[in-house]
Amino acid sequence: MARGADFAEVFGEDRRTTTATLDEGRIEDMSSGRLVGAGVRVVRAGTTGYAHTTDLSESGLAAAADAASAAARSGGGGATIVALARASATQPHSVDVMPGSVSKQRKADLLARADDAARAESDAIRQVTVTYADTRRQILVANSDGLLAEDDQVRTRFAVNAIAMGDTGLQTGMEAPGGTVGFEFFDTHTPEEIAMTAARRALSKLSARPAPSGKLSVVLKRGAGGVLFHEACGHGLEADLVGRDSSVFRGRVGEMVASPLVTLVDDGLLARDWGAAAIDDEGTPSQRNVLIEDGVLTDYMWDLVRARKEGRASSGNGRRETYQNLPMVRMTNTFLMPGVEDPEEIIRQTPNGLYCVALGGGQVNTATGDFVFGITEAYMIENGVITEPVRGAQLIGNGPDTLCKIDAVGSDFDTWAGTCGKDGQGVPVSAGQPTLRVSELTVGGTAS
Residue 384: strand, helix, or coil: coil
263 within some domain:
yes
- Residue 176 and residue 245 share a domain: no
Domain boundary among 192, 207, 222: 207
Domain boundary among 150, 175, 207: 207
Q: CA neighbours within 13 Å on the CB side: how many for 258?
A: 29
CA dist., res. 93 & res. 109, Å (int): 27
CA dist., res. 183 & res. 107, Å (int): 10
- Residue 252 and residue 148 share a domain: no
Q: Considering its fold, how many domains does the chain have in total? A: 2
- Among left, alpha and beta (phi > 0; psi -120 to 50; other), residue 370 is beta
175 within some domain:
yes
β-strand pairing of 214-220 with 352-364: parallel
Residues 6+ apart with CB under 8 A from 354: 211, 216, 217, 218, 219, 378, 379, 380, 381, 390, 393, 443
pLDDT for res 448: 58
- Residue 327 and residue 186 share a domain: no
1 within some domain:
no
- Residue 224 and residue 177 share a domain: no
2 within some domain:
no
350 within some domain:
yes
Query: pLDDT of 17-58, one tens digit each?
Result: 999 999 989 999 999 999 999 999 999 988 899 999 999 999
- Residues found in the chain: 448
- Residue 177 and residue 143 share a domain: yes
- Residue 353 and residue 276 share a domain: yes
- Residue 215 and residue 200 share a domain: no
- Residue 29 and residue 91 share a domain: yes
Going along 45-100, which residue ranges are E strands?
47-53, 85-86
pLDDT for res 290: 98
pLDDT for res 78: 45
pLDDT for res 83: 63
pLDDT for res 81: 52
Q: What is the mean pLDDT of the chain?
A: 93
pLDDT for res 3: 84
184 within some domain:
yes
Low-confidence ranges of the chain (pLDDT < 50): 75-79
**Domain range for 279:** 210-444
65 within some domain:
yes
Domain boundary among 143, 178, 207: 207
- Residue 310 and residue 418 share a domain: yes
- Residue 413 and residue 371 share a domain: yes
In one letter, which amino acid is 313? A
Q: Percentages helix, strand, coil for the chain, rounded to the nearest 5? A: 20, 45, 35
Per-position b or e across 52-90, b if 16+ CB within 10 A of its CB? bbeeeeeeebeebbbbbbebbebeeeeeeeeeeeeeebe
For residue 166, the tally of other CB atoms under 10 A from its CB is 15
pTM of the model: 0.93
DSSP result, 156-200:
EEEEEEEEEEETTEEEEEEE--EESS-TTHHHHS-HHHHHHHHHH
14 within some domain:
yes
- Residue 273 and residue 296 share a domain: yes
- Residue 219 and residue 163 share a domain: no
pLDDT for res 321: 97
| 100: CATH | 3.30.2290.10
